[in-house]
Structure 1
Amino acid sequence: MDADLTTGERIRVLRESRGMSRPVLAQLCGRGVEWLKKIESGERELTSHPLLLQLAAALQVADLSVITGAGTPAAAATAAPLGRLAHPGMPDIWSAVMTRSLTAAPSGPVDPAALQGRVDQTWRLWHTSARNRTEVGALLPALIRDGEHAVRTLDGEARRRAQVALSDVYRLTGQATAYVAPAELAWVVADRALSAAQAADNPAAIAAASWNLGNILRETAYPEEALRVVEEAADLIRPHLDGAPEDWRGIYGALQLHAAVTAAREGREGDAWRYWGRGDQVAKSLPQNYLHPSTVFGRANVDFHAVSVATDLKKSQKAIGLADDIDPDIMPSVERRARLWVEVARGHLQRGDRTAALHVMQMAHRIGAETVSYTPSARTVAADLWRNSPRSMRAETSRLAEAAGITTAG
């Protein structure tokens, strides 16, 4: 880092080196995009020590002087707690992804059906465990290595089936490491998921990998590219839907919901509800209790996404009204139920109802603690409640913030 850089310039360099968009970093700190823009440009001075700690945690920097510069007073307190964004499972996952062997390991053959079964079981664990990142993260290194070994040692149809399983493994890795993985790993994982699916020449696998890539693009401030990827994937799989397995239609529907949220975040209300309507039509064509194994697309998830779309469009009254008509228990995914309550909390905050926002955030944390701890939107709500709630709520909001891994001391 150039010694002459200002604090704002250092923050910008660190953020860009991690492939992190300004909106994502601002969310992780519980602040608005304009605030961060002014910090980075030097229009606003960063004097708050707690905010420095939040920035350090979000940027995965353990020494505050990297942000402030060695000559600034704030550099005296050099130890910056990384909070829960530094997940202990990351080193093993990094090793499995980034140090893969280019030759076959001296182990026996891998049965692609058994490999796919393990992957499917791990996806179920992702959706049913309140500690999904920790539990799934512990299984991923072996799955990655076995999947890579399978595609190197098999051929013909068996190799294509192994490629589909490997693509699923990398998609799951992307989910489990979102917001905690370095940018380079996130992009490698997304690219390998898509490459494996294309090598298998499987439209449904390609569509699912594109859904995953769209997530990365959207979260790194490339919404137009995210829309292009999911629309192309939808175009690819659409001709194959007649007579195809239900899961092919499921991933097609998930692509529509992905586009709906992306458009909503850009304020494109008409497009957002148009995409959502397409997803709704797909859900109506499937059995009432249908659930896609990885994206959990189905009737309940379409309804959950309506709340997300309304919230992202700042239509808080509509979002809360939609949530009132949902029975969240029909969604078997713990992770998705927790995220629903985070969306409802965001809606309550938009209306200024902090008591209701705190109540539903506490529910979200009880349902999926790690979903709250590692999701930027959830951390933003928890930080906002802690920072701006009245004195009578301070004890409870502090407990929530601490539970979510947000530093409340100082």
Structure 2
Amino acid sequence: MRSAGRLSMLDLICEVLRVDMSALIGEDPVRRAESCLEDAEVARIQSALERYPLTSPVGSPVDTAALRRRVEHAWAAFEFADYDVVSLVLPGIIEEAQHGHAAWDDDGSALLLIEVYQLASSTLRKLGEHSLAWLAGDRGMTLARQRGDAIVVAATGFRIANALLSIGRARQAQALNISLAETLQSELRDEADRALYGHVLLQAAIAAATAGDQVGVRDLVAEAEDAARVVSPGSNHHRLAFDSTNVLLHRVGALLALGEGGRAIEIAATIDADSMRMLRKERRAALLVDVARAYGQVGDRDRAVRALLEAETTASREVRCRPVAQATIADLLRRSRNAPPLELARLAERSGVRV
């Protein structure tokens, strides 16, 4: 299990990077009794990311078809917010994809390895391992740039930008995402490319909001809305689930970053039940966590707790594994002047939150 020693490591990282703890994990530090990512798993993932195999190991060649199935399974687990499952299989599929690329050194093996790095970066960022998320993205970006494919570069690059945002580099994240979007503009061939373009714009908008750039948020979200008009509802191009509903989700996130919790609640309320059902579990639960944070901003503890409980029912690990959700629970506990409501206390216990 993770321990207070993990927080000591975070303190050291904050000192080296010269950022506040809140910038590193999104909110105040949370004393947790458990996590979906153990120290041993972090070490295994880091070890895999730090390998640069130039040749495939002697023995049976990599079974590309079997590896592809394992990657598909890991992506499905991610979309269901089963982050403990993803983190468990990540070291193995990273190493196997690396060996496969060393053996075959072709477009297929390169693309598969890049995709594995993308999955690793997204998962690690979700779980608060931001430096490793950056490393995974950077490994993928190196390969993507070698291929010279703007689509693959953008699909990898925005994950690096998100890692930068997570360590308090909002302006740098915004600039990188805007640069990626500009590069994509001349490469938009089909609906999938436009979905990626719109998603990158939304990541830029979140970074702009974190930097306090209201005008930038407005313009970037408006352009993303235009892109969403030509993307089929419920689509999952590049595994990004970008469509008009996803634009609304990011508007909620941007308003939260700007401190406009009341407006965020209003926008979230415009998402109808059918659109909510079309969202994959990870996105649906993440939205509910954001709604809880918005209610927290406006001082409505009870509705915040109800949103968290609904998120837990939808995808429990989105609440129990993510630092931002953990911090939201801790904040609600701190705001309870007397004994916290029973539902909140029980949620905190299930989530391992200690304040």
User: Normalised by the size of structure 1, how large is the TM-score?
Assistant: 0.76
Aligned to 2:149: 202
Q: Tell me, yes or no, if structure 1 residue 148 matches structure 2 residue 98.
A: yes
* Equivalent residue runs for 1:2-401 within 5 Å: 13-17=12-16, 21-25=20-24, 27-29=26-28, 54=30, 83-84=34-35, 86-87=37-38, 89-99=41-51, 101-110=53-62, 115-116=67-68, 118-128=70-80, 130=81, 132-155=82-105, 159-178=106-125, 180=127, 184-241=131-188, 244-326=189-271, 327=273, 329-391=276-338, 393-401=340-348
Partner Cα separation in structure 2 for residue 277 and residue 256 of structure 1: 9
Distance change in 2, residues 1:19/1:142 (3 Å): farther
Partner Cα separation in structure 2 for residue 304 and residue 406 of structure 1: 26
Distance change in 2, residues 1:20/1:333 (3 Å): farther
SS at the partner of 1:177? helix
SS at the partner of 1:289? coil
- Segment of structure 1 superposing worse, 101-110 or 192-201: 101-110
Aligned residues: 345
Partner Cα separation in structure 1 for residue 254 and residue 128 of structure 2: 26
Distance change in 2, residues 1:12/1:289 (3 Å): closer
Higher gyration radius (CA): 1
Distance change in 2, residues 1:369/1:256 (3 Å): same
Query: 1:390: Cα distance to partner?
Result: 4.8
Is 2:27–2:324's contact at 8 Å kept on the other side of the alignment? Answer: yes
Larger relative contact order (C-alpha < 8 A, sep ≥ 6)? 2
Distance change in 2, residues 1:93/1:13 (3 Å): closer
Distance change in 2, residues 1:368/1:392 (3 Å): same
Is 1:292–1:298's contact at 8 Å kept on the other side of the alignment? Answer: no
Aligned to 2:5: none
Is 2:128–2:323's contact at 8 Å kept on the other side of the alignment? Answer: no
Distance change in 2, residues 1:19/1:201 (3 Å): farther
Query: 1:260: Cα distance to partner?
Result: 0.9
Query: 1:181: Cα distance to partner?
Result: 6.5
Is 2:128–2:322's contact at 8 Å kept on the other side of the alignment? Answer: no
1:35-72 Cα offsets, whole Å, 9 max, x none, are xxxxxxxxxxxxxxxxxxx4xx5xxxxxxxxxxxxxxx
**Overall identity of the aligned pairs, in %:** 27
Is 1:161–1:200's contact at 8 Å kept on the other side of the alignment? Answer: no
Partner Cα separation in structure 1 for residue 327 and residue 319 of structure 2: 10
Partner Cα separation in structure 2 for residue 397 and residue 154 of structure 1: 53
Partner Cα separation in structure 2 for residue 297 and residue 172 of structure 1: 17
Query: 1:111: Cα distance to partner?
Result: 6.0
SS at the partner of 2:341? helix
Query: 1:185: Cα distance to partner?
Result: 2.9
Partner Cα separation in structure 2 for residue 220 and residue 212 of structure 1: 13
Query: 1:359: Cα distance to partner?
Result: 0.7
Query: 1:117: Cα distance to partner?
Result: 5.1
- Segment of structure 1 superposing worse, 216-225 or 139-148: 139-148
Partner Cα separation in structure 2 for residue 310 and residue 404 of structure 1: 26
Query: 1:11: Cα distance to partner?
Result: 8.1
Query: 1:375: Cα distance to partner?
Result: 2.5
Query: 1:329: Cα distance to partner?
Result: 2.9
Q: Which runs of 5+ in 1 are unaligned?
A: 1-8, 31-53, 58-80
Partner Cα separation in structure 2 for residue 19 and residue 405 of structure 1: 28
Partner Cα separation in structure 2 for residue 407 and residue 101 of structure 1: 42
User: Normalised by the size of structure 2, how large is the TM-score?
Assistant: 0.87
Q: Which runs of 5+ in 2 are unaligned?
A: 1-7
1:179-201 Cα offsets, whole Å, 9 max, x none, are 65756533321210111211222
Partner Cα separation in structure 1 for residue 123 and residue 62 of structure 2: 24
